[in-house]
């Protein structure tokens, strides 16, 4: 039988909780948006995005009726853009099947695109004050350490066990406070390098007692990193730039990028890239200058971009590419590395 000192945890939370915009008015919509934004993203990064989002899309109806390009643009910089696409699609679904309001029943929430077990639990708990577990990475750290659970959190069996424990230890009253307090504890105290002396639960924490907090949680899988090297021609013609839009279903879906060619770690010379442009696209490109290299990462990839600025005498139609003005491109969302390249072009 698992248990936790709710009174101690609640008192700590009410005294120490951070002032976050989605806590001030926890409407179901605000809870939904904030929880999706917070997935794999730091709170400090999310706050300005959340505030801009709620100003531009204050209701589910506003979001559903927006153009996807605008939604993606507002999300630009948060990464994991599938979250933004899912929010847009989900808003349209909610308008069609739930009259523009998030449903209050778990089974209905599970049918909405992008809502996994944690987000469903968070909406039920924080928005509707229902007794439901909300187990994210923060809570996983707290529970595995507090109860000294050494099982591999890379396995679904372990995560399901932790969800069962999280529900079992919920109080009948104010269960949402315990959920939020556990998340807050994991985010601010029971971090990767825990601040055990600041923890309100340390006297009963099994890992603290036996000195094993830094070993838990245990996760067996290691993600392999892949390295990509790309030559990026920035092609300028009559104040137009050549770009391409990420294809549906691909990693960079709906994001704009400059054309690029895969290279070796040593990159390509200007001469090599010039010949490639002529051979592949019949582009007679005049070299202007090399731009600073850009390094960025996404999912399991580390990418090195080698941008080189060219001026072209004509704008041929190139399959899956567009010639757009600088002003038009400012309104569109780029992948992070290509946005950094774009930002160096002002005044060119």
Active site residues: 35
- The secondary element (H helix, E strand) that includes residue 228 is strand 226-237
Residue 101 to residue 98: CA distance in whole angstroms: 6
Distances (CA, A) of 116 to 94, 112, 131, 134, 272: 16, 9, 17, 11, 47
Q: How many residues does the chain have?
A: 348
- Classify 91 as helix, strand or coil: helix
Residue 155 to residue 276: CA distance in whole angstroms: 47
Contact (CB, 8 A) for 102 and 127: yes
Contact (CB, 8 A) for 196 and 202: yes
Paired sense of beta strands 240-245 and 226-237, if any:
antiparallel
Contact (CB, 8 A) for 53 and 83: no
User: Half-sphere exposure of residue 239, counting CA atoms within 13 Å on the CB side?
Assistant: 5
């Amino acid at each position: 039988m698992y248990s936790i000192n709710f009174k101690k945890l609640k008192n700590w939370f009410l005294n120490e909780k951070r002032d976050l915009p989605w806590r001030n008015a926890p409407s179901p919509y605000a809870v939904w948006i904030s929880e999706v934004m917070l997935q794999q993203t730091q709170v400090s990064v999310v706050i300005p995005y959340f505030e801009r989002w709620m100003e531009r899309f204050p209701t589910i109806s506003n979001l559903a009726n927006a153009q996807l390009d605008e939604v993606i643009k507002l999300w630009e910089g948060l990464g994991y853009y599938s979250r933004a696409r899912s929010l847009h699609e989900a808003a349209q679904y909610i308008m069609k099947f739930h009259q523009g309001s998030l449903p209050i029943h778990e089974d209905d929430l599970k049918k909405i695109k992008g809502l996994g077990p944690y987000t469903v639990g968070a909406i039920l708990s924080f928005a509707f004050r229902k007794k439901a577990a909300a187990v994210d990475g923060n809570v996983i750290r707290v529970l595995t350490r507090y109860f000294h659970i050494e099982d591999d959190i890379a396995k679904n069996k372990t995560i399901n066990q932790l969800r069962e424990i999280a529900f079992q230890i919920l109080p009948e009253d104010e269960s949402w406070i315990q959920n939020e307090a556990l998340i807050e504890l994991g985010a601010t105290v029971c971090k990767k390098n825990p601040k055990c002396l600041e923890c309100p639960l340390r006297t009963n924490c099994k890992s603290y007692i036996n000195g094993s907090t830094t070993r838990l949680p245990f996760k067996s899988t290691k993600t392999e990193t892949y390295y990509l090297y790309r030559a990026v021609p920035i092609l300028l013609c009559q104040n137009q730039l050549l770009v391409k839009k990420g294809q549906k279903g691909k990693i960079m879906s709906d994001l704009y990028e400059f054309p690029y060619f895969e290279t070796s770690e040593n990159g390509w010379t200007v001469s090599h890239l010039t010949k490639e442009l002529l051979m592949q696209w019949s582009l007679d490109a005049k070299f202007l200058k090399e731009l600073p290299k850009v390094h960025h990462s996404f999912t399991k990839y580390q990418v090195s971009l080698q941008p080189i600025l060219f001026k072209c005498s004509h704008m041929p139609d190139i399959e899956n590419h567009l010639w757009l003005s600088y002003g038009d491109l400012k309104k569109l969302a780029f992948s992070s590395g290509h946005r950094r390249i774009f930002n160096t072009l002002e005044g060119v």
